[in-house]
Amino acid sequence: MRSTKLTLLFSVMLLGACQSAITDAERQLPQDELNIMNDADTADIMLNLADPERAVAYFRNAVAQEPERIDLKRGLALSLAKAGKHAEAVLIYESMAEAGLLTNEDRIAMADAYIRNGAWAEGEAQLDAIPPTFETFNRYRLEAIIADYNKEWGKADSFYDIARGLTTTPASTLNNWGFSKQSRGDLENAEKLFRQALRSDPSLFAAKTNLVIVRAMRREYSLPVVPMTDEERAILLYYTAREAVKLGDRDIARGLLEQAIDTHPRYFAAAVDALRALSTNVGL
């Protein structure tokens, strides 16, 4: 019994000594290093968890206090992009570029901000400045979007395929690829890609919408068998009806709109207005 008590006492003393040693080591760190460690943790939380506007406010204040900190400027640019302020994000990235401080990841983020701001040539130039050996999902996602914009369909297909293989969540990429196929008139392959997107993420409503539209463009007016709420079903019926009108199938469109109105859990103003316009021969 005495031996057991001594062992326990020794263990407690050893644990206390370890804790004291860790605390003493932490105390020996310069205060600036501690602040940087804390700042890095806070910055990571703000970028990943916080409301975008709060993140922007945090990084604006941080950059104002320490304008030489490139990590804070990068955080500000990323938070601005998340908040939809792409033009402002571009300005931050351009200041980093002037200082010669852009990483490959920064160039990809800068290209994204340029593209979202309608500056396609500038976005493409940033991607071209990245070594071909630097292969990431976001890089090829943007390469595909730019190839689409330039109507370089072979490149677009290749880049979409590579991007799909570099992510565990390819639904959005597959949806974009399907939309690209749809814009070229390749409706059959577009439908296949929208279905693949929904297999990856059954909740992706953009893919559901695109799927019913591309089917309706081929006069397939029945809704596909995919998970949907009553509200989603009503909206999808509405979009199918719009395509039916474009193809001159007005009676079918009228029936689809009536189904949409009956299905929607609340008042479906857009469908009601469309049915009224169709009934008075105005069109949608």
Contact between 109 and 93 under an 8 Å Cβ cutoff? The reply is yes
Residue in the structure block whose two tokens are 């370890």? 18
* The residue type at 73: K
For residues 282 and 253, give the distance between their C-alpha atoms in angstroms, rounded to a whole number: 13
Q: What is the pTM of this model?
A: 0.81
Average pLDDT, the chain: 87
Provide the pLDDT for residue 28.
43
Q: Centre a 10 Å sphere on the Cβ of residue 79 and count the other Cβ atoms it contains.
A: 26
pLDDT in tens, 124-159: 999 999 999 999 999 999 999 999 999 999 999 999
For residue 123, count CB atoms less than 10 angstroms from its CB and return exposed for 0-12, middle for 13-18, buried for 19 or more: buried
For residues 110 and 117, give the distance between their C-alpha atoms in angstroms, rounded to a whole number: 11
Residue 5 reports pLDDT greater than 80:
no
Contact between 239 and 213 under an 8 Å Cβ cutoff? The reply is yes
* The residue type at 101: L
CATH of domain 40-124: 1.25.40.10
For residues 279 and 263, give the distance between their C-alpha atoms in angstroms, rounded to a whole number: 20
Residue 79 reports pLDDT greater than 90:
yes
Residue 22 reports pLDDT greater than 90:
no
Mean pLDDT, residues 231-249 taken together: 97
Provide the pLDDT for residue 25.
36
253 CB-near residues (< 8 Å, 6+ apart): 241, 242, 244, 245, 278, 284
The string of DSSP letters for 172-238 reads HHHHHHHHHHHHTT-HHHHHHHHHHHHHH-TT-HHHHHHHHHHHHTTT--SPPS----HHHHHHHHH
160 CB-near residues (< 8 Å, 6+ apart): 140, 144, 173, 176, 177, 180
Where exactly are the structural domains of the chain? 40-124
For residues 256 and 42, give the distance between their C-alpha atoms in angstroms, rounded to a whole number: 52
Q: Strand, coil or helix: what is 248?
A: coil
Angle between helices 205-216 and 187-200 (to 10 degrees): 160
Contact between 191 and 178 under an 8 Å Cβ cutoff? The reply is yes
The secondary structure of residue 82, as a DSSP letter, is: H
